[in-house]
Amino acid sequence: MRSTTELQDEVGRYPWYHSIDLGQGVVTEGMFDHRGSEDRHLLPADLSGLRCLDVGTMDGYWAFAMERRGAAEVVAVDVEDPETLDWPASLRSRIVKTMDETKAARFSLARDALGSSVVREIRSVYDLDTDLGQFDLVFCGDLLLHLKDPATALERIRRVCRGSAVVCNPVKEHFPYRRRPLAQLDGIDEFQWWVTNLAGLERLVLSAGFARVERGRPFDVRATGGGNWKGRRGVVRGYT
């Protein structure tokens, strides 16, 4: 077991996406800190006996959260090569990709420090299929706005979901006609493609084949980076 000093030193070698309490008084200083808003994400308090999937896990915060809530098995998927991400052409060659290049090492460090049994698989959301089995609960956080094709990604999530899927994403609340499902396209200035309102996020999940959708209330996430969209989140839970 690492000493507190050793753990702090290892954590300090990396930029972190998530703020994760690793124990021993060590917390990673991430771009996003979900600890104060975890219960706003429509995630059940008790996941006992459930098989769960975390899509686009990065440092693993949500995978570890599901394990902490009693999940029988948690699989976390992510891509390994940052060049395979849906980078806008205007940004691909000039963005320093350290955050994505080191995520496997960060996940491994957090997993070991927590004594976790989460299994990390190399898989794009676009390639999710039943060879991974099916899952009682799927969690997808802050991923859709980084995808050119969020509708197809949600269809792949539906393919491996036998229970429900929680989808959280930055939302834009100041569209006209707020009750209509609407989205804003970027794809040039920032690493984001489609930012929807909450009605748009609900519509996307329904379009993927989920039978019904539960809406949560939009909320703010503590953030130290991530662009203009960094704080406000919408969340929905789709049921098969």
Domain CATH code at residue 89: 3.40.50.150
| Structural Rg of the chain based on CA atoms | 17
Name the pLDDT band for 97 (thresholds 50, 70, 90): confident
Residue 36 pLDDT: 87
Residue 157 falls within a domain, yes or no? yes
Structural domain of 158:
42-239
Residue 71 falls within a domain, yes or no? yes
How far from 146 is each of 13, 60, 88, 110, CA to CA, in Å? 26, 18, 9, 24
Residue 158 falls within a domain, yes or no? yes
Residue 8 falls within a domain, yes or no? no
Q: Report whether pLDDT(229) > 80.
A: no
How far from 41 is each of 48, 64, 103, 119, 152, CA to CA, in Å? 18, 15, 23, 22, 22
Name the pLDDT band for 228 (thresholds 50, 70, 90): low
SS3 164: strand
Residue 28 falls within a domain, yes or no? no
Identify whether the C-beta of residue 180 lies closer than 8 Å to the C-beta of residue 233. Answer: no
Q: Which two tokens stand for residue 185?
A: 């396209």
Residue 36 falls within a domain, yes or no? no
Beta-ladder partners of 205:
none
Residue 225 pLDDT: 64
Average pLDDT over residues 104-133: 98
Name the pLDDT band for 226 (thresholds 50, 70, 90): low
Overall domain count for the chain: 1
Residue 33 falls within a domain, yes or no? no
Average pLDDT over residues 96-120: 95
What is the overall mean pLDDT for the chain? 94
Residue 217 falls within a domain, yes or no? yes
Residue 94 pLDDT: 86
